[in-house]
Amino acid sequence: MRTADFDFDISSSTEPSDPIELRGKRRDSGRMIVLNRSAATIEHATFSKIYDHLGAGDLLVLNDSYMLAHCLSFKCGHEPLQTTVRIHGQDPDGTMIVKILPAPHARLGITLTSADDGQLTCTLLAPYPADEFGKAKFEPAELWKAKFEPAERLVQALDRYGWRSEKTYRLMLTRPEAYRSIYAKAPGSFEIPSAGLHFSTALLNRIAAKGVEIAYLTLHVGPTELYSVRHIEEAEVENHKVSQEFFEVSAAAAAQINRAMAERRRIIAVGTTVMRTLETLAVDNEPAAPVRGQSGWTGLYIYPGFQFKIVNALLTNLHQPRSSHIVLTAAFAGKDLVMRSYAEIIAMGGYEFDQFGDSMLIV
């Protein structure tokens, strides 16, 4: 399928640089566009109206991961100059994907020591493969495979000394809760799982009181959310590649999913992270076959033609053109309906895109 079929102009649209509550609004007050697959209809609403689209017996599946700071200061031996190590994610082999700033400080085999307390080291093992995501999306040796020791200290150091380098996270040190879903409890993402940011405590409580069952899983977001990775440069969407990310689904959550499937209740994925995790559980199964609790890595890339086995509805944010995220929504809702919805969004104006923007519910 041609990538150009998923292109459109969002130059007149807004991409907020701060979470909605830091802009003086309620989390659940953003706009939401609702796509009904069976009726091929489009509805424009506010996010709080999601309550009306959920019913008793539905299983709402949430990703409880939250985003860490990703920058730490290091030094090399007794050299006075400090180096910033920026972490973009983790590989299945346990190494981390990092960028060294300034770049000339990066050398194969070099070991850096934390400038804050001297109790954490970072060793550069090898340049990250330039074709890891299908094409050379980073300059050679811009990204490195690195090992942190002791590994268990990394999260502690990021929580205590770390920061984010982008202007979109300028208030993260003083208002970290604004950058997390209200149910987040598992640190480990290096980019934000954004679909869950729309829920307020009051709204989620109302939804639960309605008889909607809630399940939690964890997927730690890494390079998949980087623009340079999610943006599809290939002429055909099938030739794109997404990164591996760690997920964990407990036995209790798997039991909830299996009961819902057996009873033919709707399973609603909140975010593309949840969609990828749930469908990874079933990718090698027969339709409706039970899944098991497990942890592991998923590089599942969903594009039109994919056969969904678990998810019946999806909540997601508004995505960039030519992105792996928008082809996932097209796989689920159909390309024509998705692209018609984005044409309406652009024509109406006022919608906000990307991680701190508005949402789309596909039922």
Q: Considering all CA atoms of the chain, what is the largest pairwise distance in Å, rounded to the nearest integer?
A: 67
Residue 205: what pLDDT?
Answer: 98
DSSP 54: -
Residue 169 lies in a domain: no
**Beta bridge partner(s), residue 41:** 36
The Cα–Cα gap between 114 and 117 comes to 6
Residue 136: what pLDDT?
Answer: 42
Shared domain for 187 and 331, answered yes or no, is yes
94-128 pLDDT, tens per residue?
899 999 998 888 889 999 999 998 999 999 999 98
309-324 pLDDT, tens per residue?
999 999 999 999 999 9
- Residue that terminates a domain, selected from 120, 139, 163: 163
Domain count, the chain: 2
Shared domain for 181 and 275, answered yes or no, is yes
Residue 310 lies in a domain: yes
The Cα–Cα gap between 362 and 35 comes to 5
Peptide bond preceding 150 in cis form (omega within 30 of 0): yes
Instruction: Measure Cα distances from 96 to 117, 147, 277, 338 in Å.
Output: 20, 6, 21, 35
The Cα–Cα gap between 361 and 346 comes to 17
The Cα–Cα gap between 21 and 47 comes to 14
Report the percentage of the chain scoring pLDDT > 90: 81
Shared domain for 244 and 339, answered yes or no, is yes
CATH number of the domain that residue 269 is part of: 3.40.1780.10
Tokens of 343: 């044409």
Residue 135: what pLDDT?
Answer: 44
Shared domain for 111 and 53, answered yes or no, is no
Residue 45 lies in a domain: yes
Shared domain for 185 and 230, answered yes or no, is yes
Nearest-CA neighbor of 63 among 250, 259, 300? 250
Comparison of pLDDT for 78 and 71, the residue scoring more: 71
Residue 137 lies in a domain: yes
Shared domain for 59 and 89, answered yes or no, is no
Kindly give the interhelix angle for 251-262 and 272-282, rounded to the nearest 10 degrees. 80
- Residue that terminates a domain, selected from 163, 194, 218: 163
CATH number of the domain that residue 86 is part of: 2.40.10.240
Shared domain for 235 and 272, answered yes or no, is yes
Shared domain for 49 and 198, answered yes or no, is yes
Shared domain for 130 and 271, answered yes or no, is no
* pLDDT higher than threshold 60 for residue 140: no
- Residue that terminates a domain, selected from 135, 163, 191: 163
Tokens of 208: 């639960």
148-194 pLDDT, tens per residue?
999 999 999 999 999 998 888 889 988 999 999 999 999 999 999 99
Q: In what side-by-side order are the strands of the sheet with 213-219? A: 41-46, 31-36, 359-362, 313-317, 267-270, 59-63, 213-219, 245-249, 294-298
Comparison of pLDDT for 214 and 224, the residue scoring more: 214
Residue 334 lies in a domain: yes
Shared domain for 40 and 147, answered yes or no, is no
pLDDT band, very low/low/confident/very high, at 236 (cuts 50, 70, 90):
very high
Residue 168 lies in a domain: no
What is the residue whose two structure tokens read 């495979």?
Answer: 145
Comparison of pLDDT for 74 and 128, the residue scoring more: 74
C-beta neighbour count of 278 within 10 angstroms: 26
Report the percentage of the chain scoring pLDDT > 70: 95
Tokens of 264: 């033919």
pLDDT band, very low/low/confident/very high, at 134 (cuts 50, 70, 90):
very low
In terms of residue numbers, what domain contains 25? Answer: 3-67+174-362
Residue 120: what pLDDT?
Answer: 96
What is the residue whose two structure tokens read 């090698």?
Answer: 284
* pLDDT higher than threshold 50 for residue 139: no
CA gyration radius, the chain: 21
C-beta neighbour count of 66 within 10 angstroms: 23
Residue 243: what pLDDT?
Answer: 85
- Go through 31-50 and write b for each residue having 16 or more CB atoms within 10 A of its CB, e for each that does not: bbbbbeeeeeebeeeebbeb
Residue 351 lies in a domain: yes
Shared domain for 322 and 195, answered yes or no, is yes
Residue 313 lies in a domain: yes
Shared domain for 226 and 308, answered yes or no, is yes
